[in-house]
Amino acid sequence: MRVLLAVSLSVWLGTAQAAENASLDTGLLSSVLSSAFRFLNPRTLEVHSSRTYCLWGLDGLTAIDPSITIAEPPHDPKKPATLRLTIGQKVVSEVNEPAENDTLEWVKIIVSTMDASWQGSAALRDAGRDALLQSFFDELFNHLDPYSRYVAPTPAGDDRANRTGAQADVGLTLTRDGSTLIVSALNANGPAWAAGANIGQRLLAVDGRATRNQDPATVESWLKGAPGTKVKLLLADPGYHGTAIHLERQVVPPQTVFASMREHVAVFRISSFSSDTAEELSQNIDQALEDKKLSGLILDLRGDRGGVLQQAVTATALLLDRGIAVVTKGRDPKSNHIWAVQGGDMTHGLPVIALVDGRTASAAEIMAAALADHRRAVVIGSATLGKGLVQAVGQMPDGGELFVTWSRVLAPLGWPLQGLGVTPQICTSRGAQALDQQLQSLAQGKLLDAESVTASRALRFPVSVSRILDIRRHCPAALGTDADLDTASLLLQRPDSYKAALSAMPDDMDDAKP
């Protein structure tokens, strides 16, 4: 009887799924597309008509079913153009095109064409509605820029949960040592750090449950829970009995700043720019300044893919007394902004070096560019990625999200980051011999690559791809190596060389017009 019931239930579920796939929710589809067009139209960097968006997007259906063709057949110029849907050899529909920018009518055409395609294509029905929208937007955004995109409801929901930190914990990571669990990392934003927990301590129990022989991931799940709930940890230093600490679970932002010391030089690795990055950096600089012999700072931005633009500006403000950090310009007046800093350099002029590589992008490039343009830091490494476009995010009625590029990023001296990236004063990606030549030249008071650095700062939008490539080839993008950090340490030991690298930057900061 149980077997028959299971089979019947399975058949019923399959039938229900088939029924769901047999029809398309055109009302929701229309709502999503109308919202998307309203969000797109005023924000894209270049003006495009509703007709253009429609033709671009509908062409994406062929990515799911190559037998689908949507095209404008030849027509009499005196008559309205038509849009024809063909599946295989069969003409399924043909409709008159409305006016170029009649968004409401173009949305109706998209929905009716999608519905007719859905009814006539098993491949579309099998793929599902989310895939249908994804293909539409993927093809549309292929014509705009590399960063505009549509994120379907499920991954968009996951991303939102990650951004808001839906689940709370205590901010520590565990690793296994034999039968014992060891604290391997602490989030400086978390309650465990604030309570005095240390890396290397043994975690013996959580709320009285022994951790011996447990998997680290299992015990880390014990540490998670609703924000504000309590948890008791039994921690022990090597060779000592355990000490209980009582913690309140918190929504802990991901740690993005990791500090270390190289003799009397503070090294701050910034992995990304999230909601608390500037505060983390500020705390770490404060701690480093306790070393009365502190001789300099190294900001390691290698591999940093960026994040929140405002956090990059705020973090930059910790090292600048005043000035423009970055300028954003777009077609929408709301996208135009001059991000200026004022407040004071926490380090009172200590030497600063920024390490970059070919993966350094977006907000990380903004920080490196601002510090270099203001002669506040020497940049060492390779040409960076060159992501100088900013996206606005719109939530769609289906729970998905639209990321639309709406502004370009200009560095303080007015040059565009997009495509070009940051050209470092000292290039490490051409090999050891070239690096030695640069260091020897700096010892004599001259920056060997001054010409390419100056040329990169002189560029103004619009600029040709060939000109960008010509500049970037002088310091090819590459992954960071130990040579970057070694060069930074060496430069901080040679004040004259450091000053020579700084002085090679253009000095018309006040006259620059981004």
Q: At 182, which CATH number?
A: 2.30.42.10
Q: Are residues 265 and 297 in the same domain?
A: yes
Contact 389, 145 (CB under 8 A): yes
Label residue 15 left, alpha or beta by phi (over 0 means left) and psi (-120 to 50 means alpha).
Answer: alpha
Rounded Cα distance between 391 and 141, Å, is: 13
**Helix spans in 301-460 (H):** 309-317, 363-373, 432-443, 450-458
Adjacent-strand bridge partners of 177: 180
- Among 218, 248, 278, residue at a domain's last position: 248
Q: Are residues 488 and 377 in the same domain?
A: yes
In 3D space, the residue among 417, 451, 442, 435 whose CA is nearest the CA of residue 485 turns out to be 435
H or E element that contains 448: none
Q: Are residues 61 and 121 in the same domain?
A: yes
Q: Which residue is it, tokens 């927990």?
A: 197
Answer whether residue 167 is part of any domain.
Answer: no
CATH of the domain at 464: 3.90.226.10
Rounded Cα distance between 74 and 69, Å, is: 15
Q: Indicate the number of domains in the chain.
A: 3
Q: Which residue is it, tokens 């709370």?
A: 168
Rounded Cα distance between 509 and 324, Å, is: 9
Residue 144 Cα distances to 53, 56, 241, 319, angstroms: 10, 10, 62, 36
Give the number of other Cβ atoms within 10 Å of residue 27's Cβ.
10
Collapsed DSSP state (helix, strand, coil) of residue 259: strand
Q: Are residues 307 and 228 in the same domain?
A: no
Within 8 A by CB and 6+ apart from 442, the residues are 426, 448, 491, 494, 497, 500, 501
The amino acid that residue 104 corresponds to is: L
Please give the chain's pLDDT, 514 residues, in tens.
333 333 333 343 344 444 445 689 999 999 999 999 999 999 999 999 999 999 999 999 999 999 999 999 887 788 889 999 999 999 999 999 999 999 999 999 999 999 999 999 999 999 998 899 999 999 999 999 999 999 888 776 666 555 444 578 898 889 988 889 999 888 877 899 889 999 899 999 999 999 998 999 899 989 988 889 999 999 999 888 889 999 999 987 778 999 999 999 999 999 999 888 999 999 999 999 999 999 999 999 999 999 889 999 999 999 999 999 999 999 999 999 999 998 789 999 999 999 999 999 999 999 999 999 999 999 999 999 999 999 999 999 988 899 999 999 999 999 999 999 999 999 999 999 999 999 999 999 999 999 999 999 999 999 999 999 999 999 999 999 999 999 999 999 999 999 999 998 987 644 444 3
- Take residue 224 and report the two structure tokens written for it: 């998670």
Range of the domain at 219: 172-248
Answer whether residue 158 is part of any domain.
Answer: no
Q: Are residues 272 and 410 in the same domain?
A: yes
Instruction: Please tell me the total number of residues recorded for the chain in this structure.
Output: 514
Do you find a cis peptide bond into 74, omega within 30 degrees of 0? no
- Among 206, 229, 248, residue at a domain's last position: 248
Break the chain down into helix, strand, coil percent, rounded to 5. 40, 25, 40
In 3D space, the residue among 347, 349, 354, 386 whose CA is nearest the CA of residue 372 turns out to be 354
Q: What was the pLDDT predicted at 160?
A: 59
Answer whether residue 51 is part of any domain.
Answer: yes
Rounded Cα distance between 336 and 327, Å, is: 8
Answer whether residue 2 is part of any domain.
Answer: no
**Alpha-carbon 486 to chain mean position:** 28
Rounded Cα distance between 378 and 371, Å, is: 8
* Bridge-based pairing state of the strands 82-87 and 90-96: antiparallel
- Among 194, 217, 248, residue at a domain's last position: 248
Task: Kindly report the backbone phi and psi dihedral angles of residue 196, in degrees, each rounded to the nearest multiple of 5, phi listed first.
Answer: 100, 10
Q: Are residues 184 and 135 in the same domain?
A: no
DSSP 134-178: HHHHHHHHHTT-SS-EEE-HHHHHHHHHHHHT-SBB-SEEEEEET
Q: What is the pTM of this model?
A: 0.80
Contact 324, 339 (CB under 8 A): yes
Rounded Cα distance between 456 and 423, Å, is: 7
Rg (CA), the chain: 28
In 3D space, the residue among 34, 36, 40 whose CA is nearest the CA of residue 391 turns out to be 40
Q: Are residues 239 and 270 in the same domain?
A: no
Q: Are residues 210 and 273 in the same domain?
A: no
In 3D space, the residue among 265, 253, 358 whose CA is nearest the CA of residue 305 turns out to be 358
- Take residue 55 and report the two structure tokens written for it: 């033709």
Contact 152, 400 (CB under 8 A): yes
Rounded Cα distance between 115 and 109, Å, is: 10
Q: Are residues 215 and 300 in the same domain?
A: no
Answer whether residue 151 is part of any domain.
Answer: no
Collapsed DSSP state (helix, strand, coil) of residue 482: helix
Q: Are residues 308 and 440 in the same domain?
A: yes
Answer whether residue 200 is part of any domain.
Answer: yes
**Helix spans in 41-102 (H):** 50-58
Q: What was the pLDDT predicted at 500?
A: 95
Answer whether residue 85 is part of any domain.
Answer: yes
Answer whether residue 163 is part of any domain.
Answer: no
Q: What was the pLDDT predicted at 507?
A: 75
Contact 106, 51 (CB under 8 A): yes
Q: Are residues 328 and 425 in the same domain?
A: yes
Q: Are residues 240 and 305 in the same domain?
A: no
- Take residue 99 and report the two structure tokens written for it: 């006016």
In 3D space, the residue among 473, 508, 505, 512 whose CA is nearest the CA of residue 378 turns out to be 505
b/e sequence 224-233, b meaning 16+ C-beta within 10 Å:
eeeeeeebeb
